[in-house]
Structure 1
Amino acid sequence: MSARKLPGPAQSFRLVTLAFGALLMVTPFLYMLSTSFKGQQYVLKLPPQFIPDPATLSNYERILLRGDFGHYFANSLIVAVVSTTLAVLLSAMMAYGFARYRFPGRELMFRLLLIGLMIPAMMLIVPQFVLAKFFGVLDSLVGLIIFYVAGNLALNTFLLRGFFEALPGELDQAMQIDGAGHWRRFWNLALPLARPALATATIFTFLATWDEFAWALTIITTPENQTLPIAVALLQGPKGTQWGLVFAASIIAILPVIAVFLTFQRHFVQGLTAGSVKG
């Protein structure tokens, strides 16, 4: 049965509504991009100018020539890449175990894991700080990575379990007949077929770890261990803020997120709906 076409006025209204919503969402980003090319004296000019006149690269030059900015960028990149890799791999292993194996307490353990999704992250700051102090990982990138990985396991496992459950069991049985063990079936069969769900988990995890501010601000005290969100926040002074400088740094900070999304966006929509329909 062919899809029913919307009448002309209804379709036009839908397109106009979608266009208005898209413009509403992208306007703050466009204004931030525009402001990053303005001198400080033009930032608060009324009415606001979306096309800077005169345009300048001085904000980007000042940011890129700061010796510490590249160091903060590298810290964030290391933390985000390592945290994302470990979180996605560990959650994939957990999700595969919950989806493919039957063992006592399986559903109870899965529901206990999902409790982590119901607790606001700010409520965990104090107990996390106590644990970090006990293990001696305060003021270190390791302390960030450990808790970023732990904080993303629940959501990633939830997403990936649905996808693994939707994979035909006959594929596992065929590999078992060929003599494949548990690890080989997971690594050579499940992971390649789960690329859409893995891409979704990768995007969510990288975004969460790259932009995280509260935990990093809590445990990082020395400048050499600071990450990019803290560095951008420190550009805002108590007596005045160079908004052009802040927005230029923010634009640079957005680039890795855009790169990750463009890399995995082919599988993103498919991964979001993976496991929602079984059969």
Structure 2
Amino acid sequence: MVPIDRLDRGAGYRLRQRQRPLDTLTTNPTASTPGPGPGPGSGQDPTANPGDTSTTSDDTGGPVTEGPPTSGTTTTTTDDPTDGSSTDRTPCNRYIECVAVTNPGGLLDAQEDFGEASACWTGTPADAELCITACKAGLAQGHALAPDEPACFECASDDECDVGGGEACVEGNCEVPTPGAAVQPIGNTYCIECHVQGGSASGWFILTEDVAYDNIVNQPALGAPLLLVAPGDHQSSYLWHRVNGSHLEVGGSGPQMPPGAPLPQDVIDEIAACLDQGAPP
């Protein structure tokens, strides 16, 4: 495993080992070097060389060049320059923050390569994209090595991920979540204190990650004519009614769960969505 003190040698180091983005902007990589013109012994008539140019005078008396341009002309890329104002620099900002926390000695290098004053944001959109890709790679390495360090999270909200591609921010990672992926963390946060071996609700069912699915999916509810979780139908799932506060309406009893502190409505809705999607493990 790469030690934490080499985080700055991730994306930034690899980019420095290659060519810096702007180094490629002054030369056309497809341009060819002009070959020698015809001379004595070449067997060609110099006057028939299509690469030759001649000059005439225009109406002002200035020289005018005629003939095709030489193939060795140095050109610049046709990409439009950008000042970076429309570029989302979030991945690079996060990478720099991660390096600052986990390897302060590499901070200056990270800022030089990807900071606000770096060449990443003064060139073309292609340059910026190259830097963003490199930052994402370095940030992924940092997150893998320091998964509990918030500064190294790949994201803090869904809008930092490829929402159009179905990604969401799940525990600091941009990934395509499986249906119900967020439900176990809900149980861990709100339910596990009681629904654990030896807990006050252990006589009802255990919700630890290793047994939660088998203990509640397609299992009969105690005290209500419903299944605890009926895959595909939250309205037929007693678990949902119990946290929603509608359990008395379906033949249940007791207080709303969790006792004394109902779940936020968005969390209740998230549970319903998971159940409607089939309550996958």
TM-score (norm 2): 0.18
**Relative contact order higher in (CA < 8 Å, ≥ 6 apart):** 1
Pick the structure with greater CA Rg. Answer: 2
Relative to its length, the structure with more helix (as a share) is 1
Q: Give the structure with the larger strand fraction.
A: 2
